[in-house]
Amino acid sequence: MQINGETKIVGVIGFPIEHTASPLMHNAAFQHLGLNYIYLPFLVKPGELKKAVEGLKALNVKGFNVTIPYKNEVANYVDELKGEASFIHSVNTVVREGDRFIGYSTDGEGFMKSLEEEGIKIKGKSVLIIGAGGASTAISFSLLKEGISSLYIINRGKERGEKLRNLLLKIYPNSPIHFFPLERKVFPSLLPEVDILINSTPIGMREGDPLLFNPDFLPSHTVICDIVYKPLYTPLIEEAKKRGNKVVTGLGMLLHQGAIAFRLWTGVEPPLEVMKEALYKALSSAKNKD
């Protein structure tokens, strides 16, 4: 990859940002296709998001991804929201159109594609999602759109969890959507009712992170999904595998949401296999180093 005066810059903003594997995936794709783009990580400290977005616009950055904890907040600083982002006020992909920044949400579609890839059908299924941030919002919206039978939201903060429930009920007023505060005592009664469990929080990313519930209550039929991708096999995924549950790691969602963003920035069809191989190599080597 040769950087010159015509190189187009895209990237990702977040806090923390050291864990991101997106630069490896996108730069491998740019190199494979011979596109004069480079993808960079940008650490944005709390309280500096608005200035960061203004700076990226001033520097003529062509677009960027948004990761924790800014997916909801960044929606306030773009010029327009399109697609699902306009409903859920959550943005993980920003695209420059002329002098304007347009916000999109590709997380929900990326997650749905990761389930499809594993042969998991969700219509009529009961789903429990842990977390109520930007990723949870996007995933929940997509699940309801695809016709799940019920949605249970569990979140540590009561206010944020109820806010998400109320937002989803405005869009899907006839859907059974329930919220519970994050307490270990809620899991024994809920888990037997759940077909799919999704961790949409960063828990599992750091060494020593605890399991959020006693795995003895985990039914054998429940599909376990974790959107954390580093480590690729989080404690939740490892425990579920031991018990024989079907699992979905965070790699699929990362790949497919990234592929959609790639298409939005470049107008070119992304080389999925190249991107997947770059991710798998990076995440597998990170596990081996641990």
Q: Can you tell me the distance from the alpha carbon of 109 to that of 254, in angstroms, rounded to the nearest whole number?
A: 11
Alpha-carbon distances, residue 271 vs 36, 210, 263 (angstroms): 15, 36, 10
Q: Could you tell me the sign of the dihedral formed by the alpha carbons of 46, 47, 51, 57, in that order?
A: positive
| Spatial contact of 21 and 283, defined as CB atoms under 8 Å apart | yes
Give 3-state DSSP helix, strand, coil % of the chain, rounded to 5.
40, 20, 40
Of residues 50, 62, 71, 158, which has the active-site annotation?
71
CA–centroid distance for 135 within its chain: 5
Q: Is 125 a catalytic residue?
A: no
The b-or-e profile of 259-280 (16+ CB within 10 A means b, else e) is bbbbebbbeeebbeebbbebbe
- The answer to whether 160 and 168 are in contact (CB under 8 A) is no
> Is 200 within 8 Å of 155 (Cβ atoms)?
no
d(CA 112, CA 243): 24
Considering just the CA atoms, what is the radius of gyration of the chain in Å? 19
Which candidate, 247, 246, 275, places its Cα nearest to that of 259?
275
Q: Which two tokens stand for residue 165?
A: 């429930």
- For every residue of 101-112, DSSP letters joined together read EEEE--HHHHHH
Catalytic positions are 71
